[in-house]
A and B are shown apart, each in its own frame.
Chain A
Amino acid sequence: MDTNLARNGLALMARFLSGASVRWIDSQPDTCQRVYFANHTSHLDPIVIWSSLPQEVRMITRPVAAKDYWIKGPVRRYLANRLFNAILIDREEIKVHQSPIDLMIREIGQKYSLILFPEGGRQQGGGVGEFKSGLYYLCKKRPDLELIPVHIDNMNRILPRGEVLPVPMLSCITFGPPLWLEAGEAKTAFLERARDAVRRLKEI
């Protein structure tokens, strides 16, 4: 109960601090199992997307975040583990027998949705970088998951790489129409299509 209260409080605070206006374009919030994939420019991105979802969707959505950042210090650990229930990925120790994709699939089961950043790291400036192949392998193993492209605008100015203190500018989160991995679709074609889906949301 307390955790729920703290979660809602955190979501409200994140909404206020990021000044995010949320848009759903050809898309609706839903509690079915989804993968929200977004461009990545700031450490606040997972929290901002998570908090811009409606409460009942938020409860079953888990951001995928970098372990090295989120286990530093008790505050970050509390936020990641207790509040937004993140799936932490060890970026230095990616091995075949403990691939992050298997970890994600194990963690979401038949219930949770994921927020992930296929660029693999934060980009400088406002562009969308090349996607790494993780998104493809995830869909290969779970083709039933709905993929929702998300574009985060302006977060790179609110908390750029290498800065500690945020400047409270206004950001905009855009959710786009769902897409799926087509049967027999090649890896590069799929990743390019997914990346375009995110880039297109910037223009709308």
Chain B
Amino acid sequence: MYIFDVRTLCLIGAVLVLLGSAETIIYVLRRRPESGIDAAILETFRLRVHAWWILFAILAAAFLLGHWTTVVFFGLISFWALREFITLTPTRPGDHRTLFWVFFLCTPLQFLLVGLGLYSWYSIAIPVYAFLFIPARIALAGDCKRFLERTAKIQTGLLICVYCLSYAPALMSLPKAQPAPSEASVSAGKPAAASAALAHADPQAPKGEATAERPPDFTAGTRLLFFFILMVQLSDALQYAWSQVPSKHVIVPSINAARTWEGLLGGVTSVTLIGALLWWATPFQGADWWMAAAMSAVIALMGFAGGITMSAIKRDRGVKDFGTLVEGHGGVLDRMDSICFAAPVFFHFTRWWLG
């Protein structure tokens, strides 16, 4: 049970206190209609808080059951998000077989590689091999109508729902047990070696790397992932709360009428502050609180970018939500959009800092 160290328990405690106080505030406000807060907004917020209880309960269970459970859990979320994405994206019958491989080969393989911790493979498997495979397979199907558009749709779905999201569980294997000087040289030479090795499917390359690298510190890694998810969810909630401030300056009215400058700035600032207060939970302890604060700001900004991108896609397709799985949350993808955009950036910043 590697999860039970003091700092992890403190982090879980912080989440419980946060959700508990959110529930209390909503309960009090609902009892007092004279407070002037719109009942519909309150109801949306209440449903969101309920779903966060569910999300954090599932996350905690996955963490307790270990590293692979968490990877599989994120793999399933990814699969479902991709389902929602492709369902809303018009494809042609000629794309059918391509989609089959995207769902049943690319997605599980990506999470298998993440689970095995093979960074030099999972960081390029989709952007190089899958992205070249997709147009080639569509061309083989013999339907050239709107070829580039169809290719781009499937590639975008795979990139956002699978590749980006897989960086969340990859965070778990990021903090290493002990610092060693050889790290930079190992990772620098990898991409070329990996692509050369692919033609022969040489099993020696990944194996050699796994043993050469220091073993990941899953306790710190789990905490890092928990910190990340917490920050993304907080940034979503706080940006939503801040955008209820009366004087509204909508950022892009044609895409999303609910996202205001007040929401963005207020959200990013408060998330940065909370991140600074939670510095003890992160692996950036050498840099003290300011690194945790900077990372939190990056998470909040990327979360915003994800939200606005998904809004644009939904607006184009003329829908409000991607699906109907969790009450009050639209689809899985509606909740995952900020995580999808923030995960790879947070991962690479952290990797650069720790490396």
Q: Bound complex: CA of A165 vs CA of B103, how far in Å? A: 11
User: Is A165 a contact partner of B84 (Cβ separation < 8 A)?
Assistant: no
A-chain residues with CB within 8 Å of residue B318 when the two chains form the complex = none
B203 within 8 Å of A (CB atoms)? no
B-chain residues with CB within 8 Å of residue A160 when the two chains form the complex = 93, 96
User: Is B100 a contact partner of A170 (Cβ separation < 8 A)?
Assistant: no
A-chain residues with CB within 8 Å of residue B96 when the two chains form the complex = 157, 160, 163, 167
Residues of B60-115 at the interface with A, using a CB-CB cut-off of 8 Å, are 79, 83-84, 86-87, 91, 93, 96-97, 99-100, 103
B-chain residues with CB within 8 Å of residue A166 when the two chains form the complex = 100
User: Is B91 a contact partner of A168 (Cβ separation < 8 A)?
Assistant: no
B-chain residues with CB within 8 Å of residue A21 when the two chains form the complex = 323-324
Known: A21-B324, A160-B96, A163-B96. Contact between A170 and B103, CB under 8 A? no
Chain B residues touching A, majority SS: helix
A33 within 8 Å of B (CB atoms)? no
A-chain residues with CB within 8 Å of residue B100 when the two chains form the complex = 165-167
User: Is A169 a contact partner of B93 (Cβ separation < 8 A)?
Assistant: no
Q: Of B87, B93, B97, B99, which one neighbours A170 at CB under 8 angstroms?
A: B87
A19 within 8 Å of B (CB atoms)? yes
B-chain residues with CB within 8 Å of residue A165 when the two chains form the complex = 97, 100
Known: A154-B87, A157-B91, A160-B96. Contact between A167 and B323, CB under 8 A? no
Q: Bound complex: CA of A160 vs CA of B324, how far in Å? A: 24
Interface residues on B, range: 10 to 19
Known: A19-B83, A21-B324, A154-B87. Contact between A168 and B93, CB under 8 A? no
Contacts between chains A and B (CB distance < 8 A), count: 30
Interface residues on A, range: 10 to 19
CB distance from B105 to the nearest CB of A (A): 12
A-chain residues with CB within 8 Å of residue B86 when the two chains form the complex = 167, 169
Q: Bound complex: CA of A2 vs CA of B312, how far in Å? A: 49
User: Is B91 a contact partner of A170 (Cβ separation < 8 A)?
Assistant: no
Q: Bound complex: CA of A168 vs CA of B93, how far in Å? A: 14
Q: Bound complex: CA of A163 vs CA of B91, how far in Å? A: 15
A-chain residues with CB within 8 Å of residue B87 when the two chains form the complex = 19, 154, 157, 169-170
User: Is B83 a contact partner of A169 (Cβ separation < 8 A)?
Assistant: yes
Q: Bound complex: CA of A169 vs CA of B88, how far in Å? A: 9
CB nearest neighbor in B for A156: B93
Residues of A136-185 at the interface with B, using a CB-CB cut-off of 8 Å, are 154, 157, 160, 163, 165-170
CB distance from A137 to the nearest CB of B (A): 34
- Residue among A160, A167, A168, A170 with the most chain B CB within 10 A? A167
User: Is A167 a contact partner of B84 (Cβ separation < 8 A)?
Assistant: no
A-chain residues with CB within 8 Å of residue B83 when the two chains form the complex = 19, 168-170
Q: Bound complex: CA of A160 vs CA of B93, how far in Å? A: 7
Q: Bound complex: CA of A19 vs CA of B80, how far in Å? A: 9
Q: Bound complex: CA of A19 vs CA of B323, how far in Å? A: 10
A-chain residues with CB within 8 Å of residue B103 when the two chains form the complex = 167-168
Q: Of A157, A163, A170, which one neighbours B323 at CB under 8 angstroms?
A: A170
A-chain residues with CB within 8 Å of residue B324 when the two chains form the complex = 21
B-chain residues with CB within 8 Å of residue A157 when the two chains form the complex = 87, 91, 96
CB nearest neighbor in B for A124: B93
CB nearest neighbor in B for A23: B324
CB nearest neighbor in A for B324: A21
CB nearest neighbor in A for B88: A170
Q: Bound complex: CA of A170 vs CA of B322, how far in Å? A: 10
Q: Which 9 A-B pairs have the closest CB atoms?
A: A170-B87, A167-B99, A169-B87, A21-B324, A165-B100, A160-B93, A167-B100, A170-B83, A163-B96
24 pairs from A and B in contact (CB 8 Å cutoff) = A19-B83, A19-B87, A21-B323, A21-B324, A157-B87, A160-B93, A160-B96, A163-B97, A165-B97, A166-B100, A167-B86, A167-B96, A167-B99, A167-B100, A167-B103, A168-B79, A168-B83, A168-B103, A169-B86, A169-B87, A170-B83, A170-B84, A170-B87, A170-B323
A-to-B contact residues, CB < 8 Å? 19, 21, 154, 157, 160, 163, 165-170
**5 further A-B pairs in the complex, CB-CB below 8 A; given A168-B83, A169-B87:** A157-B91, A166-B100, A167-B96, A167-B100, A168-B79
